[in-house]
Amino acid sequence: MTNRIQSRSQVTTAKRIVVKVGSSSISGENVGQIAPLVDALAAAHGRGSEVILVSSGAIATGIPFLDLDARPTDLATQQAAAAVGQNLLIYRYQHSLDRFDIVAGQVLLTAGDLDNPTHRGNAQRAMERLLDLRILPIVNENDTVATHEIRFGDNDHLAALVCQLVRADLLVLLSDIDALYTKPPLDPAAVKITEVAFDDDLSSVEFGDVGAAGVGTGGAGTKVAAAKLAAASGTPVLLASTTDVAAALSGADIGTWFEAAAL
């Protein structure tokens, strides 16, 4: 860990930040959110932080170009959609990053890559070198070769593993909602949770889905599991809305803060 971050007010001092964004936030009718997301990443990059983006969205981005009206259920078509969509997704990010003269580096990983010591070491060296060169790595699961049996399951989990890989100072999990709630946010009895102590098992929380149905694969439960995994490795986590990413990376008092283990 390069810089111990203990609260939102210290976010701007984080040396190495991993930001995760989901499919529903940057594809389809929300493709316009890529530019403000890049604005926020570029601002953090500009103040000297090393920024890694974990971005879902390859399959969702590819769907309309394969003349499909829904997410495919068979593996071969998912792989085809990912192959088309990943290319377009990276193009859209790079086109937006061009405004800041920032170069993106694509890093596609499978669960097997992080389980295999040789592959894991290669991925770690590549990421470290990209960051040394002030390149902004954009990480996604390699859906074109991934199988149903060997997957990360969701990119929230992948983001937590990337934090472990690069010893990140902060993980920002972006969502369609602004924070974690005690119940699904549409429930009138739902109460926002602003702070989660490391030893809080959140057993009283009633999880619902987060994200557009049929597009993303994650929900509140996957985000909490990922946050707990990252926090156990010493990386604090901020869960916030994608529309609030600029405020999140500026240290504003928003979202849900997951305290990290004191390692």
Mean pLDDT for the stretch of residues 230-235: 96
Q: What is the reported pTM?
A: 0.93
200 has binding-site annotation:
no
For residue range 136-184, what is the model confidence (pLDDT) as tens digits?
Answer: 999 999 888 866 544 666 899 999 999 999 999 999 999 999 999 999 8
* Banded pLDDT at 253 (limits 50, 70, 90): very high
Give the whole-angstrom CA distance, residue 137 versus residue 90: 11
Residues pairing with 256 in the sheet: 239
- Measuring CA to CA, how many Å separate 192 from each of 52, 181, 207? 28, 4, 13
Q: Name every residue whose Cβ is closer than 8 Å to that of residue 263 and which is 6 or more positions away in sequence.
A: 1, 233, 234
What per-residue confidence (pLDDT) applies to 247?
A: 98
Take residue 60 and report the two structure tokens written for it.
């969702």
55 has binding-site annotation:
no
What per-residue confidence (pLDDT) applies to 69?
A: 86
- Mean pLDDT of the chain, nearest integer: 90
Q: Which alpha helices (DSSP H) does 47-134 contain, by range?
A: 58-62, 75-97, 111-115, 117-132
- Measuring CA to CA, how many Å separate 52 from each of 16, 48, 136, 145? 8, 13, 6, 22
49 has binding-site annotation:
no
244 has binding-site annotation:
no
Give the whole-angstrom CA distance, residue 63 versus residue 72: 8
Q: What dotted CATH number matches 8-258?
A: 3.40.1160.10
Q: Name every residue whose Cβ is closer than 8 Å to that of residue 125 and which is 6 or more positions away in sequence.
A: none
176 has binding-site annotation:
yes
Give the whole-angstrom CA distance, residue 101 versus residue 95: 10
- In the chain, the DSSP E strands lie at 16-21, 50-55, 104-109, 136-141, 170-175, 180-181, 192-193, 195-196, 237-241, 256-258
* Banded pLDDT at 213 (limits 50, 70, 90): very low
61 and 85 Cβ atoms separated by less than 8 Å: yes
24 has binding-site annotation:
no
Mean pLDDT for the stretch of residues 25-43: 96
* Banded pLDDT at 218 (limits 50, 70, 90): low
Residue 91, amino acid = Y
Model confidence at 1: pLDDT above 50: no
Model confidence at 86: pLDDT above 80: yes
What per-residue confidence (pLDDT) applies to 148?
A: 58
Interhelix angle 155-166/220-232, rounded to 10 degrees, is: 10
